[in-house]
Amino acid sequence: MTELRGVTRTLDPFKAYMIYMGLKAHFNSNYDYVKYGGKTSATRNSYLNRRDKAFFGKASRKFKEEVEDFFISNFVENEKGYVGQFNEETYVQWKKRVQSLRYQFKNDIVLLLEQSKTFNKIFECKDGQHPILFKNYLAKKISIETMVILDSVVDYAKDFDTKIHETVIWPSHAKKINNYKKLLTFDNSQYKMILFNLVK
């Protein structure tokens, strides 16, 4: 929480709306929120004409400077989500994961290695089927953050694109993982070292 002269800084609801529209486009189109700095064609008039504008006022008052993270967490949960359905519990759980990113990553890798004889086996798409890594993600046994970090470190997604036969489940999740990778902040070299120490 940011404070100025003892008064909590508030966020303009229109600014919250602009952030929401930018992130919605980021997760559902080819728009890059980071590249364009969140700027979209949305206008103040389009905001004022929305019947749901009260949700942005509520979010801006409650989350203030954290409203961007609130929206990110809910789009990560459901990229097709609607602001009126976004909830604080999703944000709380996301914050817990992000704040313990290294611990969670280590535990996820250990879990994966327990199911495979070698590290490379967790990426194996036998007969075009989902690999161990993706199966565990779908079963919610490992986090999407681990999926993002692993792709950044070993670049597995491109391989999955060509080797997984089904054309619905993996492609939709691959898009979300790639979009989230542009928004999640982490030290790539640090996670390479963590991975090296776990699989050596």
What pLDDT does residue 117 have? Answer: 84
Rounded to 5°, angle at Cα 37 from 68 and 31: 90
> What parts of the chain have a pLDDT lower than 70?
1-10
What pLDDT does residue 1 have? Answer: 31
What element of type H or E holds 101? helix 101-114
What pLDDT does residue 200 have? Answer: 77
Taking the domain 3-98, which CATH number applies?
1.10.8.60
Q: Which residues have a Cβ under 8 Å from the Cβ of 200 and sit 6 or more positions away?
A: none
What pLDDT does residue 9 have? Answer: 58
**Domain ranges across the chain:** 3-98, 100-199
Class of 100-199 per CATH? mainly alpha
pLDDT in tens, 114-158: 999 899 999 999 999 999 999 999 999 999 999 999 999 999 999
Burial of 155 (0-12, 13-18, 19+ CB in 10 A): exposed
| Whether pTM exceeds 0.75 | yes
